[in-house]
Every structure is written in structure tokens, then in C-alpha cells.
Amino acid sequence: MISLESIRIFMRSAESGSFSAAGRSLRLSPSVISYRIQTLEEHLGCLLLTRTTRRMSLTEAGRIFYDRCLDITAAVEQAEKSVETAGAAPRGVLKVTAPLGLGRRVVAPLVPQFRRRHGETDVHLRLSEHLLDLVQEAVDVAIRLSQMRDSTFTLRKVGEIERVLCAAPSYLERHPAPAEPADLLEHDCLLLRFPGSEQFRWTLTAGEETVTLPVSGHIDADDGDTLTEWALAGEGIVLKPLFEVAGAIAEGRLVPLLQGTPPTSATLGLLYPSRKMLSARTKTFVDMAHEALRAHVAEQLALVGKRAG
């Protein structure tokens, strides 16, 4: 009999296009993935995937089998959720993603707490500034601080987060503070940069209008905390959520800039699949994370006398 695990391995391999990518997603080695697919094909007596040095693709038989597997996994998932809802006991695997900074400070400490309360769950946490494809990566909960675009997912909003431009006094001693948005084009701006990033274009509010500037700088990174450290060291101007630099501003280590034309705000929230019957593990984690995020933001903003929107 074919195991459900073999079906999931086959489906992930077909969706990702390689054993290596499937292995990373499932936390299995490519050799294990290859062996399980080969065993499945021998059991069925047909080739499911064609392999080349660059890509894998479904055979005709593989496509038919994949379509049937979609029905099987959907039915099993629905059955699991029915049991979870009835028993109100979180169990199973939970996949969570979060930005690096918030992930380290808020989400990572939350995971052991969640596990202590719900010992029948496993949590896979992935921290990255990159906006992962939530469907392809099979993410259950995504903490996002950005302009939300995943319309097929449910958003539980924590708040509209004020952002701020700031620099260290040592930088401002060497470079006159910008008097208007266009002056940023003459400054060293510390940019969050990675494939697909839009952070090299800063949008500021000017009354009821906005102005977007293609700012630049000599150094960039794909880690927001690194940008903060560089700003503190006097290397340039940084754009950050206010709560992340509130302590440094209160202590005078960073100075807010262009407060009359501030950056546009960002939404902090939790994204999860829009399903009629949300799993107990997802609902419970979302509740805990929502509370922890609100508390963290409020605590940091209290340092500069601000409140989350």
C-alpha cells in the first residue's frame, strides 16, 4: 500500500521541480527523496517523473496520479482538521515564517512556549527578510511587516506601523541633515536589498501626496538589523519601523529626519490560509503571536511616547 508520506514527497517533488528543492522543503536529503520516488514508481509500475540535468517534469501517468493525489491530501487534511476542531487539541506540523529582526526577538522565543503548552506539535520556523511564496513553501503562518499583497490569505492585523528616517549624530556631523525629500538623493542611504526587494525606492508622505525616490548608498544588506548597526556606526541614513529604533532615538544614538514628510507606514500582521476549518495548531499559534507582537510593539513605542495604529 502507498503511504501518505510517499504521496506528499511525490507531490512536493513535482511542484518544486527538483529533488534538492523538495528535500529542503521537507527536510530530507535528495537521496532519500529519490529513493522514495523510485520505490513509488516501482510499486505503480510506471514512470511518474522525467529527470534531466536541469529539471524534472511529470509524465502523462504522473499528471494523472498527481491530480488524484490532490484529492487524497485534501481529504486527509480536512479529516485532520475535523478531529482537531472537535478535540480542540493542537497537533501536527506548523510551518512559520517571519522577518529576521522580529523573528529573533519575538517569534523565536514564542516557539518553545507554544511547544511547552502543546507537546503534540512540531514547529518549523524560517526567518528571512525575503517574502517567501507562501503557497509553494506550504507556510501555515507568515508574520509580515510590509504592504500586504497575499489576497488569498487571511490577514490578522496587528497595526499600522509608523516608519522613520534616522541617522547617527556622527553621520550628521559630516553631512548636513536633509531639509526636504529630494536631498536624500545626495546622501548615503542604507538599503535592504535582496532579489525582488523594493526597498531601494523610498516613498515619503507630503501632505495628501507621496513622493518616491530612487535612493542609493555605498553599502546594503539583506538583514534589517545589520542596517541598524551601520546607522548607529554613522554609515548613513536608514529607514526603519519606529518601534525597532525607538530605544536608540530615546537615547540620542539616532536622530529622526524629515519628520514633516515621513515614510509611508507599513502593516504588521499575520497571514494564514483562508480556510473554513482552520487547524487548531494554526489558530492557537496565531492568537499567541498576535498578542506577543502587540505587546512588543507597544513596549518599544512607549520609549518615545508613541502608540501603534
Identify the CATH number of the domain in which residue 46 sits: 1.10.10.10
Q: Of 16-25, 158-167, 204-213, 296-305, where does the model show the most confidence? A: 158-167
The H-or-E segment that residue 35 falls in is: helix 30-44
What confidence tier does 82 reach under pLDDT thresholds 50, 70, 90? low
In a domain, 306, yes or no: no
What confidence tier does 309 reach under pLDDT thresholds 50, 70, 90? very low
Q: Nine-digit cell at 141?
A: 503562518
Q: Give the pLDDT confidence score for residue 14 in this predicted structure.
A: 85
Predicted structure pTM score: 0.68
Opening angle at CA 245, ends 165 and 187, nearest 5? 30
For residue 100, the number of C-alpha atoms closer than 13 Å in the C-beta half-sphere is 12
Residue 286, phi then psi, degrees to nearest 5:
-60, -45
Q: Nine-digit cell at 207?
A: 501632505
What confidence tier does 109 reach under pLDDT thresholds 50, 70, 90? very high
Q: Nine-digit cell at 196?
A: 525582488
Mean pLDDT of 83-96: 67
143-159: burial string, b at 16+ Cβ within 10 Å, e else: bbbeebebeebebeebb
Shared domain check, 192 and 149: no
Q: Give the pLDDT confidence score for residue 139 in this predicted structure.
A: 83
Domain that holds residue 207: 163-264
Assess contact for 159 and 231: CB atoms under 8 A. Answer: no
Shared domain check, 76 and 25: yes
Lowest mean pLDDT among 3-17, 140-154, 227-241: 140-154
In a domain, 281, yes or no: yes
What confidence tier does 173 reach under pLDDT thresholds 50, 70, 90? very high
State yes or no: pLDDT of 91 exceeds 90.
Answer: no
The total of structural domains in the chain comes to 3
Q: Which of 299, 268, 289 is CA-nearest to residue 125?
A: 289
Shared domain check, 271 and 155: yes
Shared domain check, 154 and 273: yes
Q: Give the pLDDT confidence score for residue 198 in this predicted structure.
A: 61
- Write out pLDDT tens, residues 149-170: 655 678 899 999 999 999 999 9
CATH code at 113? 3.40.190.10
In a domain, 308, yes or no: no
In a domain, 219, yes or no: yes
Computed over every residue of the chain, the mean pLDDT equals 85
Residue 157, phi then psi, degrees to nearest 5:
-80, 135
Assess contact for 186 and 215: CB atoms under 8 A. Answer: no
